Structure 1
Amino acid sequence: MSEWAHRVETTPRLAQWRIDILSSTYRKSDPFKIGIWNWFLTVERNKQLFVKLYPEVSALTREQPPVASFVIKLISSSSSPSRKTLVHPGVSDKLIRTNEDFVWAVDTLFTGRFIVDVEFLDLKIVPPSGGEAVSIWSAYQIERHSLSTAITSLSRMLSDSILTDITITGTDGASIGAHRAVLAARSPVFRSMFSHDLKEKSLSAVDISDMPFDACRTFLGYVYGDFRADDFLAHRLALLRAADKYDMEDLKEACHESLLEDIDAKNVLERLQTAHLYRLQRLKSGCFRYLVNFGKVYEIRDEFNAFLLHADRELITEIFQEVLAAWKGF
């Protein structure tokens, strides 16, 4: 079989797969890119000819599957004017995730050379924020580009100290320049601070007395869209404190979600105390479940007993209520 037998030729919206001879009962194309997804075509010959079109399995397909509108045809490769063409009735705004979401069963068997011709009329995607699906070939792509460019420019304002007008200082005395307008837009606490005659406004300086500089830099990076995963993970607790202090609910929830993901015997008691202090109910429930339902409290008995000596009375009451509820469940 020729090395080109599985290749699909494409333009931005058109794909053509030329099949010389369907010598076996099944054939699958090489991946081809239309829009932001890689796609596959397959043909299978049984009592009918089955044609499938589907996107490649990937994180993108799982998170943002295509909503496709297209016309698909089977065209015999004969050069005569009477060459055979079969046209599917058409597909409009169909969500396609798997290789079973679009299957065309053709009664006529093509025995010679033929072409699978797919013309994409539109490809839509549901924005991460939800709502109606929008075309990737319309203003959506421009919007994404504009957003990406804006975030890059914003992060450069911080990294390159472009026209900074406020100084942020951490506990170790190190400082970094920032912008009042950006901080005020992200935090109502900063907005109030810079709108009233407080020392931060008159001195053009903010001392964040409970954050070392590295954590402070990570905090500002998040504010400016300069997100770095390793730094975020290293400073989650400091970021949570800052989010609570400066009333940044999006950052607080991001920390909450992250702290839920890696509860273990070494950190569960610290996480439990953190959850109680910052009213993170899902984190608290996750810690209770780890300790009580999965019986891990017995593996850290000494640490747990020491924890109870200093824990808040309300939290201790909740712990024993969880233990009693678990015992009743057996």
Structure 2
Amino acid sequence: MSGNLTVGGKKRSSITWTIDNYSLFNTFSSKTFIVCDRDNNHGICRLGFTRSPFEITLENVGNTDVSLKGVIQFCNEQSTLFTAKFGWTESNFCITNSNPRKWTSPYRYDGSVVKLKLEPPSYIIDQDCVKDDNAAKTKDTARKETSNITTDLEKLLTEGKYSDVEIICVNGEILKCHRNILSARSPVLEAMFSNDFKEVSSGQIKLDYFNTEVVKDLLSYIYTGMPKNLDGNAEILLQAGEQFQMEALKEICGKHLIKKLTKDNVLEYLALGDKYRQLDLKKASLEMVVKNAKDIKEKTKFTEFVINNPELMFEVFSAMASKISINH
């Protein structure tokens, strides 16, 4: 989960990362930003944070190593709770792609802001300020090429040419697929193929626990990046994304379900957002429950929800209590 990353101006010595929804998750990552070190090396970095046990990380996600000196801080609105200097005693505090820097503490602090300040001549660049005269043209070409690739892969799925594995649906329909594409898109399927599981050694995989249309939608996502029938299948595709470890599919489904939120389905979607770790869906559902608590309490499924989701109900009550406190 990320938050708001503030980089003032084109070149600055510091950034402030405000972590959104701090209380809902344990691990967070910021957006990336560019740093320039004293030797004019440019690295792509991001901050990471873990609540328990407390840990702040500065990670280099690019291919260029950078040597930095500065200060990292963890704060709340009132004060600075944790401070650590880096690069002041080491002759070369180098951050590489394989060597993120970490700061830990045995204490748990009540805050949600990470600040990074670099010692000159090193500085931070907002990625939005990095210009390329050919950027617009390059992006347009890339969009067209991506569209072509999507069309070609969809044709490959539809026609089944050069397929080497078959998906057996609940109604007996056979869908011809390609192992390399399936394994590249799902760690679960990749493990099945690489370990020669019994169910794939014959060149067939049974997916008879989903209906045929859901399987086709799942394959559409695997090959093209987008399911065709989100309106009808988003809830079950969320489950499929969890089963096959497709986080991007889960995010697509979660964002789509937000658009469908009503008083009648909000409890179901709140539980789905929590179960499948979809923060935006969970947050939107929780806000709707708090805003319409009186009406939702009268729903026939409310009692069942309370019994089956005691931890979620605690979050609902906490959110309601916070709202009452703010209003008074």
* TM-score using structure 1 length: 0.54
1:228 Cα deviation after fit: 5.5
Residue in structure 2 matched with residue 94 of structure 1 by the alignment? none
Residue in structure 2 matched with residue 246 of structure 1 by the alignment? 244
Residue in structure 2 matched with residue 169 of structure 1 by the alignment? 168
Q: Alignment length, in residue pairs?
A: 200
Is residue 327 from structure 1 mapped to residue 324 from structure 2 by the alignment?
yes
Q: 1:228 to 1:184 in 2, by over 3 A?
A: closer
Residue in structure 1 matched with residue 184 of structure 2 by the alignment? 185
Q: 1:329 to 1:192 in 2, by over 3 A?
A: same
**1:235 partner SS:** helix
Q: 1:137 to 1:324 in 2, by over 3 A?
A: closer
Residue in structure 1 matched with residue 281 of structure 2 by the alignment? 283
Larger radius of gyration: 1
1:161 Cα deviation after fit: 1.3
Residue in structure 2 matched with residue 233 of structure 1 by the alignment? 231
How far does the alpha carbon of each residue in 1:258-313 deviate from its partner, in whole angstroms, 9 at most, with x for none? 11222111211110111121122222221111011x22542551335333354222
Q: 1:168 to 1:134 in 2, by over 3 A?
A: farther
How far does the alpha carbon of each residue in 1:71-116 deviate from its partner, in whole angstroms, 9 at most, with x for none? xxxxxxxxxxxxxxxxxxxxxxxxxxxxxxxxxxxxxxxxxxxxxx
1:313 aligned to which of 310, 315, 319: 310
Equivalences for residues 1-12 of structure 1 within 5 A: none
Q: Which segments of 5 or more consecutive residues in structure 1 lack a partner in the other structure?
A: 1-128
1:150 Cα deviation after fit: 2.1
Give the Cα separation in 1 of the matches to 2:130 and 2:222.
Answer: 25
Q: Which segments of 5 or more consecutive residues in structure 2 lack a partner in the other structure?
A: 1-127
Checking the alignment, whether the CA contact within 8 Å between 1:187 and 1:246 is kept in structure 2 is yes
Residue in structure 1 matched with residue 222 of structure 2 by the alignment? 223
Q: 1:311 to 1:137 in 2, by over 3 A?
A: closer
Residue in structure 2 matched with residue 52 of structure 1 by the alignment? none
Give the Cα separation in 2 of the matches to 1:169 and 1:130.
Answer: 51
Farther off after superposition, 232-241 or 279-288: 279-288
Give me the CA root mean square deviation: 2.7
- Percent of pairs with identical residues: 25
Equivalences for residues 16-55 of structure 1 within 5 A: none
How far does the alpha carbon of each residue in 1:31-88 deviate from its partner, in whole angstroms, 9 at most, with x for none? xxxxxxxxxxxxxxxxxxxxxxxxxxxxxxxxxxxxxxxxxxxxxxxxxxxxxxxxxx
Residue in structure 2 matched with residue 262 of structure 1 by the alignment? 260
Checking the alignment, whether the CA contact within 8 Å between 2:168 and 2:205 is kept in structure 1 is yes
* TM-score using structure 2 length: 0.54
1:214 Cα deviation after fit: 0.3
1:195 Cα deviation after fit: 0.5
